[in-house]
């Protein structure tokens, strides 16, 4: 099967350069909602990418969910725009199991500028996690994809912000991910220019995971990686 999540094979070549959306998504959602459903929005495409500021799809989606709440709703993002919808999130949290998974990729903003130049700063992301947590939203700092970082400091600031278990994943490389999409070629090029090749090495990635896990355990939390980690968010 060469189509994944509605994408055609040629879409992968321009991944990150375009946005498509269904203007009638709320109406379509209303037809499909059932009380026993577990919805993960979205491990493939960030619902709070920049286009959402103008399109305002998520408020309409939340209104549909408030009318017929599923059993679990998980939102995956790295976009501070989620705070725009805080009132709806609070309302949903009273009617369903609501979790927010907020991506913190590194503790170094110079690294963020190289790999995620159009994304919010690390401190802005941490502040979003704190704000959601203080609003009573079950919020997780997800360390994915793990960019070059100080693993121990990254774990410490993520735990401080979320006060919850950590979930994460290393940069995908074919050596550890046999099937499906892996890290885009642009990231490999950036890593080569800035001598970050170790973060694309399976053995080094394993060491980073062990260091983060040690900090989490010392603080009384856990660090779970890969599909088993993210699956916990939809249980």
Q: What is the 3-state secondary structure (H, E, C) of 143-174?
A: EEEECCCCHHHHHHHHHHHHCCCEEEEECCCC
Specify the higher pLDDT residue, 6 or 139.
Answer: 139
pLDDT, tens digit, 9 for 90 and up, residues 85-100: 999 999 999 999 999 9
Query: Which stretch of 18-22, 61-65, 128-132, 137-141 has the lowest confidence by average pLDDT?
Result: 18-22
Name the pLDDT band for 170 (thresholds 50, 70, 90). Answer: confident
Output the domain CATH number for residue 111.
Answer: 3.80.30.10
Stretch 94-116: mean pLDDT: 96
Q: SS3 of 100, please? A: strand
Residue 161 lies in a domain: yes
pTM of the predicted model as reported, rounded to 2 decimal places: 0.88
80: nearest Cα among 118, 114, 25: 118
CA distances from 123 to 52, 109, 198, 199 (A): 22, 8, 25, 22
Residue 67 located in a structural domain: yes
For the chain, how many structural domains are there in total?
Answer: 1
Range of the domain at 52: 23-234
How far from the centroid of its chain's Cα atoms is residue 227's Cα?
13
Asked if residue 7 belongs to a domain, the reply is: no
Instruction: Kindly report the number of other CB atoms within 10 A of residue 133's CB atom.
Output: 19
């Amino acid at each position: 099967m060469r189509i994944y999540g509605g994408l055609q094979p040629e879409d992968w070549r321009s991944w990150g350069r375009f946005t498509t959306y269904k203007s009638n998504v709320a109406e379509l959602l209303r037809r499909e909602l059932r009380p026993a459903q577990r919805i993960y929005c979205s491990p493939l495409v960030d619902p709070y990418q920049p286009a959402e500021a103008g399109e305002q799809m998520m408020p309409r989606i939340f209104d549909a969910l408030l009318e017929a709440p599923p059993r679990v709703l998980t939102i995956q993002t790295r976009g501070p725009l989620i705070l725009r919808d805080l009132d709806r999130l609070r309302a949903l949290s009273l009617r369903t199991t609501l979790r927010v998974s907020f991506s913190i990729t590194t503790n170094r903003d110079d690294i963020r500028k190289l790999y995620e130049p159009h994304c919010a700063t690390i401190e802005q992301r941490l502040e979003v996690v704190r704000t959601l947590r203080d609003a009573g939203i079950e919020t997780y700092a997800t360390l994915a994809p793990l960019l070059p970082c100080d693993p121990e400091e990254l774990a410490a600031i993520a735990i401080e912000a979320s006060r919850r278990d950590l979930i994460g994943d290393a940069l995908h490389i074919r050596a550890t991910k046999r099937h499906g999409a892996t890290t885009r070629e642009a990231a490999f090029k950036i890593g080569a220019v800035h001598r970050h090749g170790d973060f694309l090495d399976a053995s080094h990635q394993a060491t980073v995971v062990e260091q983060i896990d040690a900090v989490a355990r010392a603080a009384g939390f856990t660090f779970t990686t890969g599909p088993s980690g993210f699956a916990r968010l939809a249980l």
